[in-house]
Chains A and B, each alone.
Chain A
C-alpha cells in the first residue's frame, strides 16, 4: 500500500513538473492554458490520492481514517469541477479579448 502511495505521489510530481515546464516554455497563451488545465488537475488529483492512501496506511485502517479519505475524495471532486472551469473562464476571456494564436512563422516578429 505504501509503495502504491509513493508511486502515485511521484507520478503526480512528474506531471506537475511537466506543467511547470509547459507553462514556462510553451510559445503562446493557448498552449500554456492547455498545460495548466489538464496536467495540473491530473497531478493534483494524483498527489491527493497518494496522500489518502498513505494516511489510510498510517492510521491502520480505522474508521476515522476512512472519514478523512472520504473528505479527500470530496476535494478531488471539487478540484475536478473547479479547476477546468477556471481554465475555461480564463480561455474564454482571452479569446474575447483577442489574444492571437501562435503560428509557426519566423518572419512575424
Chain B
C-alpha cells in the first residue's frame, strides 16, 4: 500500500463526490461521477487490490457512465420544477451528521489501517493464501477464492446479474412505438473518425477480454472483468455504428439464450461434480472425466470453465442492459 497517493486521491474523491451532487445539470453530474470512478481505481491499486481495480476500471470506464448518459438521453436533463427544500435538506444534514459522528466514534475501536495482525487478516484469508498453490496450482489467490473456495457465492452473484438483466428486460422491453415520441428527433451522426477508430479497437478489445478471462489464473483478471470488457466492446459497436450493426452480431434471441447459458455452464459444472460422486462445485472429482489431469489440475481447469460461464452472463447482461436503457426498450435506435 502506498500512503501518499492513496491519501491525495481520496481527498480528490471527496471533492468529486460533493461536486457530482452539487451540479444542477445532470450531464455534468454524470461526467464528474466518471472521474470519481477513475480516481477510485487509483485508490484500489494503492491498496494492493489489483482485481478490484481491474473491475472498477472496466466498469467505470466502459459501462457505468454509458448507462447513466443513455438514461438522461431518454428522460430530461434538468428539473424545471422548483420547490423549496432547504429546510428538509438542513434537517437531513443534521441527521447525517448524527449518523456520521456515531460512525466516527466507532472507528476508533477498529484496528489501525494496514495492520497485518488485525482479526480480519489472520483467520480465514491466511488459509487461502497459504494453501492456494498446493490445493489448486493457481498463483492468483483472488481467482482461486472466487471460483473455487467460495464458488457458491460467485454462482449466486452471477445469478443476481442474470436476474437484474431479466428484470430490466421485462420492465422496459416494448414493441409498440409510443404515440408521442419523447426523444428528440434522431439524426444520424456520420463521424468517420469515430467509426474507423472503433473498427480498429473492437477486435483488440475482444481479444484482450478473452486473454483476461483465460489468463485470470496467473494475473489480475477473470470472468467478471473479461465479461465487462466484452460487453463494453459490443456497446462501443452499438454507439459508434448503430443498433442494426450491433444486433447483426448478437440479436435479441441470442442475448436471452447466452445470458441463461452462462448461468447454466456454472451450475452445470457443479451438477456434473454431483454425478461423479463429489459435493456440488467440488471440482476435484472432475479428474475422472478430464483426460490426463490429477485432482489438483482438475480444480484449476474447472475454474476456467466457471469463469467462461461468468464472462458469458456478464457480457450479455451489460450489452442487453445498454440496449434496453438506450432505446427505452424499443431496441431500434439509441444514442
Which A residues contact B (CB, under 8 angstroms)? 78, 81-82, 85, 88-89, 92
Contact = CB atoms under 8 A, between A and B. Distances in A.
Nearest to B187: A96
A82 B197 contact: yes
B204 interface: yes
A81 B191 contact: no
Nearest to B196: A85
Contact of A88 (B193, B200, B201, B204): B193
Determine chain A's interface SS by DSSP, over half rule. helix
A85 B199 CA distance: 12
A85 B201 CA distance: 11
Contacts of A88: 191, 193-194
Contact of A78 (B193, B194, B204): B204
A82 B201 contact: yes
A85 B194 contact: yes
Interface in B183-203: 191, 193-194, 197, 200-201
B191 A89 contact: yes
B194 A81 contact: no
B193 A85 contact: yes
Nearest to B194: A89
B191 A92 contact: yes
Nearest to B208: A74
A78 to B, nearest CB: 7
A86 to B, nearest CB: 9
A99 to B, nearest CB: 15
A78 B201 contact: yes
B259 to A, nearest CB: 29
Contacts of B193: 85, 88-89
A85 B204 contact: no
A16 to B, nearest CB: 15
Contacts of A85: 193-194, 197
A81 B202 CA distance: 12
B27 to A, nearest CB: 11
Nearest to A96: B189
A89 B196 CA distance: 12
Given A81-B197, A81-B200, 10 more contacts: A78-B201, A78-B204, A81-B201, A82-B197, A85-B194, A88-B191, A88-B193, A89-B191, A89-B193, A89-B194
